[in-house]
Amino acid sequence: MAAVRAATDLGGLGAPIYIDHTVTLEVSSYIAHPYWPETEDLVNILKKSGYNRARSDAGRESALREYLKVIGMSAEEFEDLKARAARQWHRSDDGTIIIPRHQFSGALVETLLRMPSRQRPFADAGTLRSLVQISDLRTDRTEADATWRRFVRPTKDGKPLSNQRSERSNEVINAFTATGVLSFDPSEIDSDADKARQKLDDMLAYCGKYIGLGASRKMGHGRFTVATLAAA
C-alpha cells in the first residue's frame, strides 16, 4: 500500500495528500563535483595568504605558513581541510554514493523551465520544491569507476582568458542504478491519479534526456532513463 501523508492545512485551502512514489533511474554516467564548505574555506585561505600570487614554490609555502600562524591553524588542520575539500562524492552513512536531493531538485526545476509548457506537470517551476518532496537518490556504488581528465581554457564571464589549457579531472561512475522517493499529491497535477503520475514520468524522462544530473552535463554526463515510477 502506498505511503500517504497529509501536510498541515494552511489558510483553509485543504491539506495536500502526499503519496510516496519510488523512482528508479538508470544513469549512464555521473560526476558530482561537490562544493563543500571546506572548499570555500580553502579557497579563501589560499587567496588571503597570497599563496596564488607567489612566484615560486618556496614563496607559496612561506606565504601559506605565515598566514596559518595568523589565523591559528596548524599544518595538520590545514591538510585535513584540504582532504575534506577534495571529497568527490556525497555519501550515505554507510559509505554508499548518493545523488543529493538538491542536485535532483535543481535538475527538475530546470526541466520545468525548459520543457514545453503543455507537457509540464506544474505550471510554475518555483512551486516544485513545495509540491514535490524529493529524497536523495541512492546509487549501487561505493567507489568511482574511472577518472575523467580533460584540458580546458580558463574563462571569466564566458570569455577565454588565455589559450593555454590546464588539466581538470573528476571521478566518475558509469552505468548504474539510483533509487529514491518522490512524494506528491496527484490532485495538484491532474484529477486522474494515473495521468498525474504519467505527467511526472514525462517530466523525469525530459530531465534525463535533455538536462541531466550533477556536473559536466553539457559534456554529456548525468543522462538517465526512468526505470520505474510507482506508488511505494
**Structure confidence by residue, pLDDT tens digits, 155-186:** 767 676 667 777 788 999 999 999 999 999 99
Owner of C-alpha cell 571529497: 87
Q: How many of the other CB atoms lie within 10 Å of CB of 119?
A: 12
Q: Which domain holds residue 72?
A: 37-85
- The pair phi, psi for residue 68, each rounded to 5°, is -60, -35
pLDDT grade for 11, boundaries at 50, 70 and 90:
very low
Find out whether 163 and 143 touch, Cβ atoms under 8 Å.
no
Residues 100 and 185 in one domain: yes
Residues 76 and 161 in one domain: no
219-223 long-range contacts, CB within 8 A, separation 24+: 219/150, 220/29, 221/28, 221/29, 221/30, 221/31, 221/148, 221/172, 222/27, 222/29, 222/30, 222/31, 222/107, 223/27, 223/28, 223/29
More confident call, 4 vs 56? 56
Residues 117 and 70 in one domain: no
Residues 123 and 202 in one domain: yes
pLDDT grade for 53, boundaries at 50, 70 and 90:
confident
Q: Dihedral sign, CA of 223, 103, 108, 105?
A: positive
Question: How much is the average pLDDT of 63-84?
Answer: 96
Q: What is the pTM of this model?
A: 0.84
Find out whether 212 and 6 touch, Cβ atoms under 8 Å.
no
Residues 19 and 106 in one domain: yes
pLDDT grade for 200, boundaries at 50, 70 and 90:
very high
Residues 193 and 134 in one domain: yes
How many separate domains does the chain show? 2
Enclosing H/E stretch for 84: helix 75-85
Residues 78 and 101 in one domain: no
CATH number at residue 195: 3.30.70
Task: Count Cα neighbours of 36 within 13 Å in the Cβ-side half-sphere.
Answer: 16
* Segment 113-158, tens digit of pLDDT: 999 988 899 989 999 999 999 999 999 999 999 998 877 776 767 6
Q: Is the pLDDT of residue 69 over 50?
A: yes
Which residues in 23-54 are b (16+ Cβ under 10 Å) and which e? bbbebebbbbebeeebbebbeebbeebebeee
Residues 183 and 79 in one domain: no
Residues 19 and 93 in one domain: yes
Q: Which residues contact 225 (CB under 8 A, 6 or more apart)?
A: 25, 26, 205, 208
Residues 94 and 170 in one domain: yes
Q: Is the pLDDT of residue 3 over 70?
A: no
pLDDT of residue 4: 57
Q: How many of the other CB atoms lie within 10 Å of CB of 186?
A: 22
Q: Is the pLDDT of residue 23 over 90?
A: yes
Residues 45 and 159 in one domain: no
Choose among 25, 28, 7: nearest CA to 16. Answer: 7
